[in-house]
Structure 1
Amino acid sequence: MPGRKGSQFRTGRISSVPPRTTSGDMHVADRKPIESWLTDMDGVLIHEGTPIPGAEEFLRRLRESGKPFLVLTNNSIYTPRDLSARLAGMGLEVPEECIWTSALATAKFLKGQRPGGTAYVIGEAGLTTALYQAGYVLTDNNPDYVVLGETRTYSFEALTKAIRLINAGARFICTNPDETGPSTEGVLPATGSVAALITKATGVEPYFVGKPNPLMMREALNTAGAHSETTAMIGDRMDTDIVSGMEAGLETILVLTGLTDAADVERFPYRPGRVVDSVADLIELI
C-alpha cells in the first residue's frame, strides 16, 4: 500500500518533485494567502517520541504570528492536556486548546447527532473524557452507540460485550480507521484492525470520524474559527492527511519526514498542493 514505508529525516530541498510549473503548484498559486494552519502530529512534528528538526521553530513562529492553528491527531488515547504536556516534555510548546484529536471530533459528532445520548466505550481517557464533556452517559446498559477508540489494552471481554451490544441494535462508531500504530518495538494493532474484528463478528460496518473523513477537518476549522480557502493542512500521509484536507477544500502540504516518500506521490490519483522535505521548509510561509 502506498505510504507505508519507513522514513529518514531529510534536509534541503527535494529534487525529485516536479517543478513549480506543474498543475499542483499552479493550484497553490491560485489560492489565497495562508491565514490558518492545521498540521498532523506524528510524522510532521515528532517521530517516535523525538521532535523533527525544524518543528520547534515552526511552532514558535505559529504562536508568535497570532494565526489560528491546530495540531491534529487520530490518536484518541490522550486528552489535549495530556498531549500538550507530552509535547512540552519533548521541547515543543503547543497549548492544549490548539490540539484537536479524533476523540474530540467523535464527541462533537455524537453530540450533534444525538444530544445527551449513551455509549459503551472501548478506549482511554482521551475518548471517555471527551464524551463525558459532550454530555454523554457511559454505560453498557442498552447504549445508543458502541464507540471504539484506541487503547493499548484491548480485552476479549470488552470486545465480546461490544459485539453483543451491536447485535442488539447499538450503532457502531470508531474514532479513526488507522489499522496500525507506531511504537519503539514496531507496529501495533490499532482501531481499524479491531474494528474489522467486530465487523466480521457482527456484519456491521462502523462510521469512522477521524481522518481521512473530511468531517474531522471541517470540525477543526470550526473550532479554530478558520476558513477553508485560507487554511493549509500539513501531513505525512497521502491516504489520510492529504486526501481529507483536499476533500475539505484546504491547501495541502505533504512533508517527507513520515510515512510517504517522494516517489510514492505519483502512485496516488490525487496530488498535494506542495511537497516539502519538512516543516522547516514552511517557516518562511508563516
Structure 2
Amino acid sequence: MSEHRPVETWLTDMDGVLVHEEQAIPGAADFVQALQASGKRFLVLTNNSIFTPRDLRARLLASGIDVPEDALWTSALATAQFLADQRGGGSAYVVGEAGLLTAMHDIGFVMTERDPDYVVLGETRTYSFESITRAIRLIEKGARFIATNPDPSGPSPFGTLPATGSVAALISTATGRQPYYVGKPNPLMMRSALNRLDAHSETTIMVGDRMDTDIISGLEAGLRTVLVLTGSTRREQVETFPYRPSRIVDSVADLIRFVDHGKPATH
C-alpha cells in the first residue's frame, strides 16, 4: 500500500466490526479512541435505518464504545440525502421507524399518504400488513419506490427477523416494480459518507466484515478496503468472491497501531 497516498479518513461498518448483537467486539473501543486521538476524520456506517444517530450513540455507549453523534452515518440519512438531491421539498409515504422518519423530516419532505412522490421503505420491527398494502397501492398509482437497503434479514435475541430486502421483495412481487436501494452495497452510501466528511476516495479506507456489502461498495467507490473476520465472512470464503479486499485482519484491534501510519498490516 506504499504506492497510495497517506490515509486521512476512515469509514467503518458497525455490526460485525465494532459490535455483535450490542456487545462490543474486543478492541473496538480502543480503535475508535485511536481514531479520535489521531485527529483523522471518520464515520461509522450502518445499513440499519431504525435508529437515529442519537439513539445509536446511546446504544454504542452502553456497549462501552464512545462514538460522537455526528460520526454516525445510517442508510436512513443517506436515503434522505439522496432524495433531497433528487427532489428537494418532495413528499413521501414512509414505512419505517424514528431513524428514517426523522431523517426525512429533517430534509424537508412532507409525509403523506395522498399521491406521494415516493414510497420509502426502511427497516422496522413491526411491519404491518396495512402499511405494506398501502405502499403497494401507492406504487401502483405511480409513486417511485425507494428502499434504504437490501438486507433480507437481521438478528434479534429470539432469532432471525425479516428486514427491508425481504419486505421490498414482497412489494416488488405484488407491483412488478423494483426499488432503488440506497444503502450498501450501493457505492452511493460510500460516496455520500465521503461528501459528508469532505474526503477523497484515494485517502480513505473502508473497514467491514461482509464481502458482499462493505467490501464491494468500498471497492466500487474507489476506496482501499480492510476485511475483519469478526463478523459474517470467514477467511476461507474470501477466495469464492471475484474481488478481494486490500487487506484482511482478524479484528479492528489489529488496526489500532496503523491509524496514525495509514498502512494496515498484511495478513
Letter in 1 for 2:53: P
TM-score by length of 1: 0.90
What amino acid does structure 2 have at the position aligned with 1:214?
P
* In structure 2, distance between residues paired with 1:187 and 1:67: 36
CA RMSD across the alignment: 0.6
Residue matched to 1:272: 245
Deviation at 1:186, TM superposition (A): 1.9
TM-superposed CA distance for 1:118, in Å, is 0.1
Match of 1:204 in 2: 177
- Distance (Å, rounded) in 2 between the aligned partners of 1:34 and 1:242: 17
Q: How many residues align?
A: 259
Which residue, 236, 246, 255 being the options, matches 2:209?
236
Higher RCO (C-alpha under 8 Å, 6+ residues apart): 1
Query: Tell me, what secondary structure is at the counterpart of 1:265?
Result: helix
- Distance in 2 between the 1:215 and 1:109 partners? 9
Query: Which runs of 5 or more structure 2 residues have no equivalent in the other structure?
Result: 260-267
Q: Are 1:118 and 2:91 counterparts?
A: yes
Partner of 1:59: 32
SS in structure 2 of the partner of residue 266 of structure 1: helix
Contact 2:210 2:231 in 1 (8 A): yes
Report 1:136-215 matches (<5 A): 136-215=109-188
CA deviation map 1:213-269 (0-9, x unaligned):
000000000101211001000000000000000000001000000000000000000
Structure 1 residue 49 displacement after superposition: 1.1
Separation in structure 2 between the aligned mates of residue 32 and residue 215 of structure 1, nearest angstrom: 22
Runs (4+) of structure 1 exceeding 6 A deviation are: none
Match of 1:40 in 2: 13
Structure 1 gap ranges (5+): 1-27
2: CA distance between counterparts of 1:96 and 1:264?
A: 34
Contact 1:68 1:225 in 2 (8 A): no
**Distance of 2:195 and 2:46 partners within structure 1:** 16
Distance across 2 between alignment mates of 1:279 and 1:32: 21
Between the aligned partners of 1:183 and 1:63, the Cα distance in structure 2 is 31
1:85 aligns with 2:23: no
- 8 A contact 2:22–2:59 mirrored in 1: no
**Following TM superposition, by how much is the alpha carbon of 1:29 offset from its aligned partner in structure 2, in angstroms?**
3.5
1:30: Cα distance to partner?
Answer: 2.5
Q: Percent identity?
A: 68
